Amino acid sequence: MGRKKLKIQRLEDLKAREAKYSKRKTRILKKAKELNILCEVDVVLLFSSPFGRPTLFVGKNSNGLSSILKRLPNLSFEERQERRAYTIELYEDELQELKDKLVEKSKILRDGRNPNNVEDLNQIKMMEDHLIASLNGLRSRKNQLAIEQQIRERESEVGLSISMKLFMHFQL
pLDDT at 139: 93
Secondary structure class of 14 (helix, strand, coil): helix
pLDDT at 136: 92
The DSSP call for residue 104 is H
Could you give the residue ranges of the DSSP H alpha helices within 7-76? 14-39, 65-71
Average pLDDT, the chain: 81
pLDDT at 112: 65
pLDDT at 159: 66
**pLDDT tens string 56-104:** 888 876 577 777 778 778 888 888 888 888 888 878 888 888 898 888 8
> Which residues, in sequence order, are bridge partners of residue 55?
47
DSSP string across 65-103: HHHHHHHGGGS-HHHHHHHHHHHHHHHHHHHHHHHHHHH
Single-letter amino acid, residue 13: D
> Which residues, in sequence order, are bridge partners of residue 142?
none
pLDDT at 28: 92
Torsion of the alpha carbons at 10, 13, 14 and 20, rounded to the nearest 10: -60
pTM greater than 0.95: no
39, 62 contact by CB (below 8 A): no
The Cα–Cα gap between 158 and 19 comes to 43
127, 118 contact by CB (below 8 A): yes
